[in-house]
Structures are given as C-alpha cells and as structure tokens.
Amino acid sequence: MTILTSSHWGVYEVEMQGGEAVALHPFKGDPDPSPIGLHMLAPELERSRIRRPAVRVGWLEGRKREGRGREAFVEVAWSEALDLVAGELGRVKAAHGNGAIFGGSYGWSSAGRFHHAQSQIHRFLNTIGGYVRHQDSYSLAAARVLMPHIMAPMDELMAIHTSWPVLEEHTALFVCLGGVPAKNAQVGAGGPSEHRVPGALRRMAARGCRFINISPVRDDLETGAGFEWIPIRPNTDTALLLALAYVVEREGLHDAGFLARCTVGFERFVPYLRGETDGMAKTPEWAEGITGVPAARIAALAREMAGARTMLSIAWSLQRSHHGEQPFWACTTLAAMLGQIGTPGGGLGVAYGPTNGAGSPHARFAGPTLPQGENVVRAFIPVARISDMLLNPGGAFTYNGGAHRYPDIRLVYWAGGNPFHHHQDLNRLSRAWEKPETVVVHEQFWNPVARHADIVLPATTTLEREDIGYATREKFMVAMQRVKTPPGEARDDYAIFSDLAARMGTEAAFTEGRTAREWLALLYGQSQAAARRAGVVLPDFEIFWQQGVVEIEGGSTPQVMYGAFRADPKAHPLKTPSGLIEIYSERIAGFGLADCPGHAVWQEPAEWLGNAAPGQLHMLSDQPDRRLHSQLDPSPWSAAGKIGGRQPVSMHPADAAARGLVDGAVVRVFNARGATLAGLRVTADVRPGVVRLSTGAWFDPDPVVGAPERHGNPNVLTLDIGASGLSQGCIAQTCLVEVAAFEGEVPRVRAFDQPDFVVR
C-alpha cells in the first residue's frame, strides 16, 4: 500500500524506512504537483522545530511585556507550562471576563480537517466561556463583506464557478484582472489533490481562447501561448471597469433584457457613469489619465468583450487595496451589463486561480468538520484590525453597517497562523503586541510569532498525527497516516487543549470522551452522509482508512455559474435583498458611508502613482511562489528563490537604471513606516513605476534601533488602515515606497533555528 499525506500544496506519496518517513514524492494522481510540499522533511526545517514548552524570561520573572521578540526563553515541563496557561486564563476570566481573551488563529495551519488549529482553539475557548474573535480574512475581507449584498457570499461563489471543461469548450475571450497566477493555484485550504489550473489554461489557449491580462505584472498568467498584457497602474482597475461600462452603455452594447430581469439599480448607476451626478463622465479618456491604459484600447476592449463569449476574472489581490470593494462591484456591474452571466463560458469569476478549487467539475459536499460550539462573547474585530484593537481599547469602528467598539484584550491565545506575516505595518504591530498582559502561542517552528510569545507550546505537523485531508470539489479524500515521530515533546493541538480543558474543568465538553481517532471516524461518517446526498458513495471509515485514499466518484457534472438563475430568476433567486444582482444596493447606501456609497465608484486611494512623490514606486506584495504565506520559509525550496538569503524585489529595467541599481544587488526598500533589505531582480515583467516584493519572508528586525528589517518582509512597509468603513479589510496592495542601494556592511539574515535559552 502506498502511504499518502495531504498538505496545503497537495497530496504526496510517503517513502518509509523503519516506520519513519524519509522522503516525499509527487502523487501519481496529480497532473501538476507542487514542489513546495516535497520539502516538508528538510533538515533546515527540523532545526527550527520547537521541542519543549518554553516561557519568555521577562514574563516568567516579572510578567514584563516589553521584551517580546527580543528576549531569551526558559524551557519548562509540560505540567508547568499548562499550569501557567490555565492560571492565566482563569485569572483573566475572573478579573476581566472572557471578552478580554482574543482567540487568534488563521486557518492555514493544517490541511487535515480535524487537527485544524482554528477549529481546535475556538472549540476549546468556547468551552471555557468564549473569546473575542476575528471576522473575515486578510486575503478576501473587502469582497467577503461586499459580495453578499450584491450577488452572493464568496464561499458560495467560489464553489459554483463555471467548470474549466465548460470554459475550454465555450470561452472565446478570457479577460483577467490581476492574472490567474499558477503559484496561488498550488494551494487549497483542505489540500488540493488534483492541480488543474495550469492544464486548463493551456487547453483553453490551444482551443483558440484569447487571453488578456490586465495587471501591473505580466507573469501572473501563463497559458502556454501568447497573450495580450495591458500593464495598468496598481489600484486603478475600478476606473478602467467604469470606462468599459461607459462605452458599453453609450454604444448600446449592454443587454437590456438581462439587466431588467436579473438586476436592480442599473438606472441609478447610469447617471454616475455619464457624469450627470458628479460632473465627470467615465470616458476612456478620463480613465486613461488614471490607469495609464490608452483610451483607444479601452474603447476597443469594451467592444471586443460585448462581441464574444467573454469571461471576466478578477483576482483577490485587487480588493486588498484602499476602497477594495469597488473593483469587485464594478466588475460585477460590467459583467451584468454584458449580459453573459449564466451562459456557458461567459460571465464572471471572482476568481479563477487564487486557490485550486474554483472551476472544479467534481462533486460538492461538506467534508469532515470539527464543531466549534457556540461563542457567547459577541465582541469581534475585522481580522486586519488587530493593531487598532490592541492600541485603542474602547475605540469605535464601523463594520458592515454596524457601529462597534474595540474590546480591551488582556490575553492573546494564538494557534495557527503567523500575524507577523499576515498583518500590515509590522513595526506598528510590534508596538501593539506589547499591550496584552500575556501571549500564548502553539507553534511547530521558532518563527516570528513564537518568538513574540510569552508561553510557547510545541505543536505537531501534519506528518506527525492522523487526520483526514479533503477540500471542497477535490477529486480525492486522503487518510493521513502518522508517518513521523514528533521531535522532542511536541504534542498535537487536540492533546494540548484536552489537558488544558481538564485543568479548566471542561474536559468532557471539549473531548466528549473521544480520542482523536474516534473523532476522525465520527467526522468521516458525517461527511459520508453529506456525500450521499450529493450522489457520492464513500466507503465505510475502516475501509477508507485501510485504503488510504478514496476517489470521489459520482455527483460530478460540469456547471455554469448562475445558469439556473439566468433562466428563471424568480424560481432561483439570489440571497441578496432583492433576489437579484444589485448594481445599486439600497442597503449599502443606507449605511451612509462616504467611502462606500450605493454603487461602484472611483475613489482615489490613499497611496498610488497618482499622488506619488518624485522617486516613489508602487509596491505590490503578492503571494510567494515557493511558500504558502510564510509556511516552510526556512526550507531549501524557499531559500533557492531568494537572493543572498533575502526575498527578491522585482523592478523594471528603466527604474533600476534610473537609480543606478543592478540585478542581484542588496537594496533598501523604505517609506515612512519602515525599511527592509531585499535582493534586486531586474525584469521587464513588471510595469515601470512598480516593484513587487512577495510576502512570507520570516520577519527579521535588526536589533539596532532604526535599522532595516533584514529579510525582505514587505509588511514592514504596508499601510495599516481599513479598505473602507464597510469592510475594514486589509489594503496591503496600497503602498508607495522608495528603493535605493544599501550602503555599508550588509547585515546577516538571522538563522531561524533555536532562540537563546536560559537555564534556571
């Protein structure tokens, strides 16, 4: 029997010797396996593993907060560490209530559905009375708040995208706003088992589909054939979409019948488009001055889109910007005007490529999911507002039409995810991180969030525990065997929380008397019932576990997103207030937000090339191609993509020449918020005036005050304000920087092995 494991990068075959995994190999059932996960056994990663519970010296000796990220640790026994955590939870609950506990997590810590750290920590905290939660995600916050108002929740939209085989057969013109990056499509929350995006794009191109990539960078699309690149200024896609809509409406190319049957509010939007409400018609000439795209090309593109079966795909990165709701709203509006939503191969994608799942033809059913219980604490924050919360307890914020206040957090409990990767303006976060009285972290590696904790509990990886790997609309479900002995004293999150629950008097509520294996059998059985309702027959658990993998057969039919809605919108209404696509939203208009009115509008970002000072460039911070977020950053695969151990920053040759910079040089990327050192990569694949510094290099601040971060982490530079009063989403793509040669002796990048330890 071939032993398989599942990860966020895919399914891999495990080579075993003496009962231990010694190598990972691509899964034969995957047509385009990702190389990232092949390196999960690398010794470079093993050197950075957390082996025993550890407590920061300053916290242990006097509950000092200011040493986080800089001080040494003391290793302690599990019993002492768990007593300390339970004591802190009990103290904070008694003195301040559960509303003073923040349950921090980000769902990418495990592809396995049971040992999903976010589910585990939320379940545990709910058993002890609840916690302050975060809402939405850094990846998709603006769209997650907007889209239910105007079309549908994002999770539903991603699950019903028109299938790739339908696109291959019917799409004549595929217009990408922000590309379809294969590097992003390597990943899936529950583990992709069949990487389909690169092959689908190649097949579409081979069948004659024409691709247009509207993006500041060229290489976020690869079709195996030529395509047109329209190098737009970052953060200006809304203006382009409005100009395209202007041409479509002015020339009578819009589908009046579809608009009348399937949308509301078009008549409220047209006066803005024509300039009747603000004195500025959204013409191609107007848009050229904002976007840098020639007016003639804008007008011609509008006609091409109206004259062919066109799929519009808008990347998630576009809504990670100031006023990030607007490009998604404008794209939805334009797609509705073209009238191709619900047709085979036409309409809208939001988006193809951010993860592997969109466009899958496989059956849809609920996979194994650990119930989290009920959180009785009502306080929450939008996910990207953590620094605001910690720095401004009691401060007011708006979110999705409601008025709220930030809670006063005394204890942060984090399991899964790395806020010193995800968050913006890391120097500000570092200051905010000193506010809580205690920070507890479960981690596998001595990464930045572990080094910024007070109590660190060593957790296992997916290779070191049993689990079930499955993601929505994937082809395979995987029985993930334990194939590696955990290093030192590392434990899985379930074991840690079970012991903590026993100390807190809630063990029965947390475990329900089940072992981890018994939970797997229960959750599989529940998923088995859900699969049956979708026309899929899964074998019994013991057979599944013995086989190691099951192919999802049955229930799979090519789908057309909103085909039924288009055919009969009354019989198949959307979940919007009107049941229709809302070009104008009465509900959003009623919120009275100046930065997010009732229809798509152009609003100037806080930072963009239109207000840049001389020498400033627009920095994009996209997903890396050799990691998922910051995961496995010390691996040899990640390291091989760096320059001198630093994350590369890509720059156009003209911009490099103007600054006297050469390929491979160490450069200082900086603005008023901070500075970082990166390796320069000179390439014509980025637009002039733009640089790209991908995320995920482990945060490595120099101990010298005022010195640059050493590893090329872009989030020391990004802007930490909300997308709007509607979503408060992350706006990492709205960022101006300067780039110059680094002068002086280049500092070494930290070796992220073990921290300094003090022996008591």
- Average per-residue pLDDT in the chain? 96
pLDDT tens for 328-365 read 999 999 999 999 999 999 999 998 988 888 888 889 99
pLDDT tens for 99-118 read 999 999 987 778 899 999 99
Query: CB neighbours (10 Å) of residue 485?
Result: 13
CATH 2.30.42.10, domain 609-741, yes or no = no
Q: Is the model's pLDDT at 263 over the cut of 70?
A: yes
Of the candidates 232, 204, 211, 215, the residue with the CA atom closest to the CA atom of residue 179? 215
pLDDT tens for 264-310 read 999 999 999 999 999 999 999 999 999 999 999 999 999 999 999 99
Provide the annotated active-site residues: 106, 108
The answer to whether 311 touches 349, Cβ cutoff 8 Å, is yes
- What proportion of the chain, given as a percentage, has pLDDT over 90? 94
Q: DSSP secondary structure string, 469-536?
A: E--TT-SEEEEE---SPPSTT-B-HHHHHHHHHHHHT-HHHHHTT--HHHHHHHHHHHHHHHHHHTT-
Question: Which is it for strands 3-7 and 101-104: parallel, antiparallel or unpaired?
Answer: unpaired
pLDDT tens for 551-567 read 998 777 889 999 999 99
Q: At what angle do helices 141-150 and 325-338 cross, to 10 degrees?
A: 40
Helix (H/G/I), strand (E/B), else coil: 103:
strand
CATH 3.40.228.10, domain 145-363+561-590, yes or no = yes
> Where would I find the beta strands (DSSP E) of 329-391?
347-349, 380-382
Q: Where are the domains of the chain?
A: 49-137+392-460+487-513, 145-363+561-590, 609-741
Q: What is the pLDDT of residue 184?
A: 92
Which band of pLDDT confidence, cut at 50, 70 and 90, is reported for residue 705? confident
Which band of pLDDT confidence, cut at 50, 70 and 90, is reported for residue 1? low
The distance from CA 727 to its chain's CA centroid, rounded to whole angstroms, is: 16
Cα–Cα distance between 576 and 458 in angstroms, integer?
45
pLDDT tens for 509-539 read 999 999 999 999 999 999 999 999 999 999 9
What CATH number does the domain located at 49-137+392-460+487-513 have? 3.40.50.740
Q: What is the mean pLDDT of residues 383-399?
A: 98
- What proportion of the chain, given as a percentage, has pLDDT over 70? 100
